[in-house]
A and B are shown apart, each in its own frame.
Chain A
Amino acid sequence: MAAPGLAIDFALAGVAVGSAAALSGVGLVVCYRLTGVLNLAQGGIAVFTAYLLRELAVVRGWPLWLAAAVCLLLVAPGLGVLLQFGVFGPLRRRAAGVGELVVASVGVLVLLIGLVAAMWGTAPLADVPSLVPVRTFTLPGGRLLRLDTVAQLGAVLVVACAVWAVGRFTRFGVRSRAVADDPALAELAGVNAEAVGAVGWAFGALTAGLVGVLLAPLVLLDPYGLPLLVLETLAVAVAARFHSLPVAVAAGLALGIVQAELAWLHPSGTLMPVVDAGQSNLFAVALLVAALVPWGEAEQGLVGGGALLAGPAAPRHRDGWAPLLCAVVLLTPLALRGGGVRALLTVPGIALVLLSVVLVTGSGGLVSLAQGAFAGLGALGTAQLVSGQVPGGAALVVAVLGLAAAGVLVGWPVVHRRGLVLAMVTFALAVGLSRFVFQQPYATAGLTGARPSFLHSDRALYAAELAVLAAGALLVAAVRRGRLGRALLATRDHEAGAWAAGVAVPRLKLLVFVLGAALAGAGGVLLAMAGGAFDPATFDPVQGLVWFATVVVTGVDSAAGAVLAPFVLVALDSATVPGMSAVVVGALATATGHLPGGLTGWARSRLGAWS
């Protein structure tokens, strides 16, 4: 074959995906600079805009230019402005922490995905119109060039240059740079940070919409696939360290082209499955690499200012009634006759995962978005052990110990990161585990089941699960109440002060990270046994984000909330439609600006007002 020529053809094909990724990266960088928010909602805005364009242009028969203008110039920026004033403005005003901003953007993501699924269904669509007519013309030398590729590349370069010029030569540029450096100081100097934030969100939403509209014709459009694709373009913004536009554009284009080139490089032999997985998930690889490479000076700018979660406004009460309430709620189904227990089998597993978030984020102050992925490892390990005829009890022990070891390996680089960087490193980890382990045949082939034979009855399994959950809850309570818990809270509240008091901060963080990984892993073991098999969709990165958001919504300091929330959510899903619980969590998450301390914090202040 004419290899060099073919290489050029593939490169041109890669430019289409690459320019969309570059555009997404530019949007993420600008939005972060102007608002201080890591915009995980980008994928939600993208998929919403793509569906809306199809609705207007295909279903309603509007002219394409008009539909595109309404979607991109009106709806998407309008959505962005709405987000600033409804969701993120209030959070900024009360100086919310990194974790809460992440959770609010997860809430927007989940809500938009839920909205799209509810309005347009989940069946994949292949008829999204391309904005630029698909026409090819011939270059000298016989190469075929597609007009839409050229237009996309042009759009990226125009947008990047425009952003640069505005930042460089206009008064708004000066103001926005002041806000990016220090919003409080900029406000003191008379800059309206709120307005600058609104512009940031409008621009971020516009690029997100454009990315969605550009990518939708290239893929089968469904509510879940496109948001994940856009989330992976986070790699581009991370590579640019949320600062450099040229790096974002170059990284996006380079990743698109390299991915296309890898498509015709078909190695044989044992490595082939791995290379194949890498080719189809190059953005996930890039995200992992870009997040793990030391950030150096760039990290200072990102972690500076504010705690991970705004500290507890009120001191922690001993909620004496809380453990009792949890026990009553969870034990009642055992006493009831009938099949009620079957629907609740997943509750203890999810509760353990949420408890791990309470431990790692609530007490340890580490924003770890990888707890769902650790649960997935536990589940996968169980499925493999049970398939290999190891009894379930032994599977639990082996899987949890293995997870603890994995936590040490992963945790070592992780504990030296803080704030937003830690959130991104752990999210990259979750994406990587999902793409390279959970979804790969080499990891999941030949699994027969995950339910040990001696726990055949639902009732017995549920009782065993509750016993494991109780052990986990006791562990968390012991850690939080004792010397370790005080040292953790001290580190969370004032790291330098804790160092100076003699707390061995890195060792402490590693310990809590490992405990959290083991706890989440145990939750995954229970989830695998409850489902009877390993299901990669349960441990998808977005599901992990929803779990994290659930804990922040219920109150990140509240172990009782973490135990009760899954009960409510599972009941909600089985009473209505699956996915309803995620939408409810999403809606509550967008309201975190008005709900400091989560639902438990709200409940405590109510109870406090009564007494």
Chain B
Amino acid sequence: MGAQPTGGLVVTALRARSLTRRLGGVAVVNGVDLDLTPGQVTALVGPNGAGKSVLLDCLSGVARPDGGRILLGAREVTRAPCHWRARLGLARTFQQVAVFQGLTVAQNVLVGAEQHGASGPLGRARVAGVLRLLGLAELAAHPVAGLPLGVLRLVELGRALAGGPRVLLVDEVSVGLDATQVAWVAQVLAMAAGEGTAVLLVEHDLALVARLADRAYVLDTGRVVAAGTIAEVLADERVRRLW
């Protein structure tokens, strides 16, 4: 299945072909084709255990796929280590929020900026911009330890955005956020897409998906069972049966 070619003019930011990952003999990701387009938010939905997080791990390099290829822009990154992909402009957040407990909010974001050549005054300026965008400016000097989960998710998102990513993979960002924070995150992600970032949104909150995403993939037991524009996918009979 997968996305249809859009005429060859639009460059894909991230392209996966026949991606397969087996765990204990079971293909938890099974021949997945996936394209992320610059400036678009693509949603990845599916029931628990569908393989969404494993697919994300394969794309970001946390896990090695057992088969298939991954292209980041024009570059093949199937076997490239995680940090290498990150430096090529692929950022991600984790389902279990990943922040650095011993650092402050600003330092967390700075770590993200510094790996992309933005250190010194440039790095500080980048961090200040990201913190303003996320509404975290007042917490900049606050240690991360002890902050509520909702704020931690924003900090993690800030670290991912600080590198100015071309591709942003966001895993269950709405978990633990209240309605205001979800609206804020939605705005930030839309803004990132507006600046040309290709966003992949793994999300349970279908309202957020419907509001934000341009396209969607539906994953079930490791396979893409539906793909298309968000309206098409939400109207799909097979998708309705899954919920």
Give chain A's interface residues, CB within 8 Å of chain B: 311-316, 483, 486-487, 489-490, 492-494, 496-505
Contact = CB atoms under 8 A, between A and B. Distances in A.
A497 B110 contact: no
B62 A501 contact: no
B114 A497 contact: no
B184 interface: no
A474 to B, nearest CB: 20
16 contacts: A312-B101, A315-B102, A315-B104, A315-B145, A486-B107, A487-B114, A493-B102, A496-B82, A500-B92, A500-B98, A501-B86, A501-B115, A501-B163, A503-B83, A503-B111, A503-B115
Given A315-B143, A494-B99, A499-B82, 14 more contacts: A483-B119, A486-B111, A489-B103, A490-B108, A493-B103, A497-B100, A497-B159, A498-B100, A499-B83, A500-B91, A501-B83, A501-B111, A502-B83, A503-B111
B102 A502 contact: no
Contacts of A489: 100, 102-103
Interface in B47-70: 60-62
A490 B162 CA distance: 15
A97 to B, nearest CB: 12
Interface of B: 60-62, 81-83, 86-87, 91-92, 94, 98-104, 107-108, 110-112, 114-116, 119, 143, 145, 156, 159-160, 163
A43 B119 CA distance: 50
B114 A483 contact: yes
B116 A502 contact: yes
B174 to A, nearest CB: 19
A500 B111 contact: no
Shortest 10 CB-CB contacts between residues of A and residues of B = A502-B115, A497-B98, A502-B86, A315-B143, A499-B82, A493-B100, A490-B100, A490-B111, A502-B87, A489-B102
Contacts of A497: 94, 98-100, 156, 159
Is chain A's interface secondary structure helix, strand, loop, or mixed overall? Answer: helix
B107 A313 contact: no
A103 B34 CA distance: 49
A139 to B, nearest CB: 51
Nearest to B119: A483
A502 B110 contact: no
Nearest to A491: B100
Contacts of A504: 83
A498 B112 CA distance: 8
Contacts of B160: 500-501
Contacts of A494: 98-101
B102 A492 contact: yes
A193 B33 CA distance: 47
B157 to A, nearest CB: 12
Contacts of A496: 62, 82, 94, 98
Contact of B163 (A483, A499, A502): A502
Contacts of B62: 496, 499-500
Contacts of A498: 100, 111
A496 B86 CA distance: 12
Contacts of A311: 101-102, 145
A87 to B, nearest CB: 26
A490 B83 contact: no
B112 A501 contact: yes
Contacts of A313: 145
Contacts of B111: 486-487, 490, 498, 501, 503
Nearest to B104: A315
Contacts of B61: 499
A130 to B, nearest CB: 52
Contacts of B143: 314-315
A499 B94 CA distance: 12
Contacts of B114: 483, 486-487
Nearest to B89: A502
A505 to B, nearest CB: 7
B57 to A, nearest CB: 9
B103 A500 contact: no
Given A315-B143, A315-B145, A502 B100 contact: no
B94 A500 contact: yes
Q: Which of A313, A487, A494 has the most CB of B within 10 A?
A: A494
B4 to A, nearest CB: 31
B91 to A, nearest CB: 7
Nearest to B60: A500
Contacts of B108: 490
A500 B62 CA distance: 8
Contacts of B107: 486
A493 B103 CA distance: 9
Contacts of A314: 143
A551 B47 CA distance: 49
A312 B102 CA distance: 6
Q: Which of A500, A503, A505 has the most CB of B within 10 A?
A: A500
A487 B159 CA distance: 13
Contacts of B100: 489-490, 493-494, 497-498
A493 B111 CA distance: 12
A203 B129 CA distance: 59
Contacts of B115: 487, 501-503
A484 to B, nearest CB: 10
A500 B82 contact: yes
A25 to B, nearest CB: 31
Contacts of B112: 501-502
A493 B83 CA distance: 16
Q: Which of A311, A314, A490, A498 has the most CB of B within 10 A?
A: A490
A312 B94 CA distance: 22
A490 B114 CA distance: 12
B168 to A, nearest CB: 11
B200 to A, nearest CB: 14
